[in-house]
Amino acid sequence: MLFASIHVPDFPVQAALGKESQSKPVALLDGPDALLKVSACNGPARNAGITIGMTKLQAEACTEVQLRKRAQEDEDVAQSALLRCAYSFSPRVEATRPGTLILDMSGSERLLGDAKTIAFSIQGRAAEFGFFVNVGMASNPDAAMCAARGFHTVTVVPPGKESCCLGDLPLETLEPAPEILETLEAWGIYDFKSLASLPTVQLTQRLGQNGLHLQRLAQGKVQRELVPAPLPARFCESAELEEAVELLEPLAFVLNRLLEKVTARLRHASLATDHIELELALEVHAERDVHASRIISPPEQHQRTLKLPVPTQDAKVLLKLLHLDLVAHPPSSPVASIHIEAFPAPVRVTQMGLFQPLAPEPARLEVTLARLRALVGERDGMGTSRVGFPNLMDSHRPDSFTVEQLASKHCDTTPALCPLLAFQVFRPALPARVEVNGEGVPVWMGFARRRMRIMEASGPWRREGSWWESAEIWGREEWDVYSHGNGEAFLCRLFRDLQSSQWFIEGMYD
């Protein structure tokens, strides 16, 4: 068994500083505005004379110490980042308290190295997240936690040597109840070694089960199961820009950095995303527009949603798709801040068949479709999507179809059992002049300054629909005709609109 513990000294202060230098003296104030007191401080602030419980007036006497108001939001964000760091090493992580985590590293030696190597890897990874941490390694979780809380940097406790290695730690490391700590100090017990050497029966008689548990912790003999902490439910990244950005190129630079962070977090959690939501906070100054006849409050948020047919972890693909979407739908004002949220989805793994033809990668196909949408537009005048995959509608009306955006549409590749004629459809249909005989059969047709005799005609086929809706009613009479004239032969389809009695050429057979 091997366990690692991560402890962030002065966690509230490190959470408040974030990416700032941890060497500056900082003290955090908490409580009502009229009774603000120092609730946390770092080492440089303690060296300057700050102590926990000082009033704001007393703390202001130390002019070199920076005073800040404690914010729970900063600590929540820092705890989530610390959990992400821990989950990149182990799937079993316990959040014992804010700033202290325990990791089950059993079986990871073959992959990550010995205990000391693992500890330094965890410390380096935490530094990338902006934390200065202590790491303890031991054969049981509580011994590892005590080592991380009591010693600086990296400590490895060999199996069976817990009592010896932890003996010099003060009792405050165990965080006993105040009355128990007072009693032990009255007995002259100040460290783990003294507590571990007390008679067990007499200690239990005087302090009960709590005293016995403290002694077993001091001896490093407590074995228990970890209570795993849940993974962060949301994968979000935000950026506040110092100056508002108007051009898409510098905006794409910031988007790239945020997407790389989000996809890195998804990879550490063995997840991907097929749904991205982008929210841009705009810098709006409508009153400065001297050309506006009246002040109309523009939207202060520009939101875009990107949905993919297949989950991906590629930040470059997501950046290209967002860039093309912003080119087609640019924000109306300069961008002041950016917020990106990726919705997790399981990673999709596809195994191709040995004799199956290669298909384009879904990510590249989606980028190509996005480029086509940016080039020709998303929808036509009828509201139909211009780019996608055609899908027939449940209707007998000719040319009735929709265009879907799903790239995973199934296509039937079964070969036809008999040869079929290809039909080239004219959109819109070509107006034609048609002469019929006494039986209503077409005998002459003319279009595009041509007049040809119809040699053979097959029909008519009548179709109609939407008779229950007066505005959408339609009906037509179709003929397949063969004509010949001026050395040219045509096999085409004619139809007569029953509403207007006009003739059209719908298309030609190849």
**Count of positions (residues) in the chain:** 510
Domains of the chain plus CATH, in order, are 3-12+74-219 (3.30.70.270), 236-284+300-346 (3.30.1490.100), 423-509 (no CATH)
Answer whether the bond into residue 298 is a cis peptide, omega within 30°. no
Whose tokens are 């019929």? That residue is 436
The dihedral region occupied by 487, where left means phi > 0, alpha psi between -120 and 50, and beta the remainder, is left
Is the pTM higher than 0.85? The answer reads: no
Tokens of 256: 């790239």
CB proximity list for 400: less than 8 A, separation 6 or greater: 392, 393
pLDDT (tens digit, 9 = 90+) per residue, 365-391? Answer: 777 777 777 777 777 766 667 777 777
pLDDT (tens digit, 9 = 90+) per residue, 124-144? Answer: 999 988 889 999 999 999 999
Q: Percent of the chain beyond pLDDT 90?
A: 19
Neighbours of 184 (CB within 10 A): 21
pLDDT (tens digit, 9 = 90+) per residue, 60-84? Answer: 888 888 999 988 888 888 888 888 8
| Range among 146-150, 289-293, 392-396 rated most confident | 146-150
pLDDT (tens digit, 9 = 90+) per residue, 209-245? Answer: 999 999 999 988 888 888 888 766 678 888 888 888 8
* pLDDT confidence of residue 244: 85
Q: What share of the chain is helix, strand, coil (3-state, %, to 5)?
A: 30, 30, 35
Whose tokens are 């705890």? That residue is 79
Q: Are 55 and 69 in contact (CB under 8 A)?
A: no
Q: Which element (helix H / strand E) includes 11? A: helix 11-17
pLDDT (tens digit, 9 = 90+) per residue, 15-41? Answer: 888 877 778 899 999 988 888 999 999
CA distance 51 to 57: 13
